[in-house]
Chain A
Amino acid sequence: MLRDITLGQYYQTDSVIHRLDPRVKLGGTLLYIISLFFFSNPLGYLAAAVFLGIVIKLSRVPFRFMVRGMRAILFLMLITVVFNLFLTPGREIVSFWKLTITVEGVWTAVTIAVRLAMLIIGSSIMTLTTTPNNLTDGMEKMLRPLRVFKVPVHEVAMMMSIALRFIPLLMEETDKIMKAQIARGADFESGNIIKRAKALVPLLVPLFVSAFRRANDLAMAMESRCYRGGEGRTKMKPLVYQRRDRVAYLCLALYLAVSITVGRLVWLWI
């Protein structure tokens, strides 16, 4: 029922990408996303697509997994494309009723669709190849400088890793409670919106109760192991850059240089 959500899920396998330092992947994804907004011609997107293709190949995660994650945002994508297609002023191609399609409209619609698709796939590669724990570890280390400005970096990272850790648990719990209520004749699938919302009460009340109970237990367990925040806390597996991480940074820099060159500059000549 709820297992179809792949956005933010980890895909277990062994690959170069999986073994990279999470900081590389975080930084890389961020730079990749930014680069997508720099291009002003198709060549840039081509470069980004080639780069993405290579990373997907290296990650050894089946492509259909990433596409499955896109289903969730398909609707959003459709709306954006439609709006851009019809509402961009410019040179007219066809016009019917009050709607006109312009050359510029087609161009923006296509760019936005491609941009969104590549953005989602790019960031899903990061979550598919990095365990949530690693991810928050990387984030904590990257954001550490912010402590100067009194940002509670460790606490935020801890909260995030707990939240991520609890998603599958709560999903399992939801599944269980749902089944238990279905066994008692509950119906979650038919009726109008109000009826369906009401039908969720037998699911949500036990779910919240159990979430609070778990939170309470976890707090107790953490306290009894002397957890008192990030001050002076050491890591069992500290993040250290390896050779492959340096190589990855180099590749990233190369990609940025190439894609931005072709994506912004080549346009001027045509």
Chain B
Amino acid sequence: MSIILDHVNYIYGQDTPLAVAALRDVCLQIPDGQFVGIIGHTGSGKSTLAQHLNGLLRATSGHIYFDGEDIYGKDYDMKKLRSRVGLVFQYPEHQLFEVDVFSDVCFGPKNLGLERREVELRAYEALRKVGLPDELFYQSPFDLSGGQKRRAAIAGVLAMKPEVLILDEPTAGLDPRGRDEILRQIKKLQTESGMTIFLVSHSMEDVAEYVDRIIVMNRGSVLFDDVPGEVFRHYKELEDVGLAAPQVTYILHLLKERGLDVDVDATTIGEAAETVLHALGR
């Protein structure tokens, strides 16, 4: 069950004076169960790319294959695709609408036409997965804190049991603790259930620790596509497109320049500490 993007182009506002190419010739292949980070500056096309993956936006040209099937094919069931590819939008808490959290989470599975028991079972499971405490289940979603609202909204998508989960800036506007908690839970989801996960972000620091692969977007095209360590090697080019490598990359490069034999590919603070200690012979 892989996703293949074949020369995908997308133009916003075609035939108007404001036409902008949001995606240019994007070719990608994403195997099952991978944790992918899509990184880019504002307006680089990362959110546009995310919305193509579940068919919300239709490519101006090019093809997308999900599980070997062309999603733009004549008889392709888009509704089914959307239940298999879950998309959590930026600030997903803005889509909550029900009277209580539990009913809101039920909305997705209910739309799939499942029977009531199954719907409620899934909703309960999803709420547990995002770590929302039981006593909040029957509160109004508007009474929750920002972080709790976001969890509830993510649960709303998880309850549909998607095979692929796309999260568009899931940590935007959260404090560092809320951010780490959400990211850790997402990582847990991937390792435990084998979901393919796309994490859209503008911050390398956020994703470096968790993802298997980083796709760097710039002006609608793929600039780099590799494992984090390899991508961060291009930290100078990343700066040119308004991004930055994690801070440890800079420190390690500085240390290396000054003659300390460290491994500059370390991406997390833990790895960096290890290589520095190793270089110091301790």
Contact = CB atoms under 8 A, between A and B. Distances in A.
A20 B200 CA distance: 45
B17 interface: yes
Interface stretch (A181-189, A218-226, A231-239, A254-262): A181-189
Contacts of A184: 95, 107-108, 111, 156-157, 160
B87 interface: yes
Given A11-B17, A185-B112, A206-B97, A179 B160 contact: no
B56 A183 contact: yes
A202 B112 CA distance: 16
Contacts of B95: 177, 180-181, 184, 202, 206
B83 interface: yes
B142 interface: yes
Interface residues of B, number: 26
Interface in A198-224: 201-202, 205-206, 209-210
B96 interface: yes
Q: How large is the interface on A (under 10, 10 to 19, 20 to 34, 35 or more residues)?
A: 20 to 34
Nearest to B153: A180
A205 B51 CA distance: 23
A243 interface: no
Interface string A172-197: 00001101111111110000000000
B92 A180 contact: yes
A20 to B, nearest CB: 20
A186 B87 CA distance: 13
Given A185-B108, A185-B111, A202 B54 contact: no
A185 B56 contact: no
A242 interface: no
Contacts of A228: none
From B18, B95, B157, name the one whose CB has the most chain A CB atoms within 10 angstroms.
B95
Given A183-B56, A184-B108, A185-B108, A210 B94 contact: yes
Given A184-B156, A185-B110, A186-B107, 7 more contacts: A176-B94, A181-B95, A182-B56, A183-B89, A184-B111, A185-B107, A186-B111
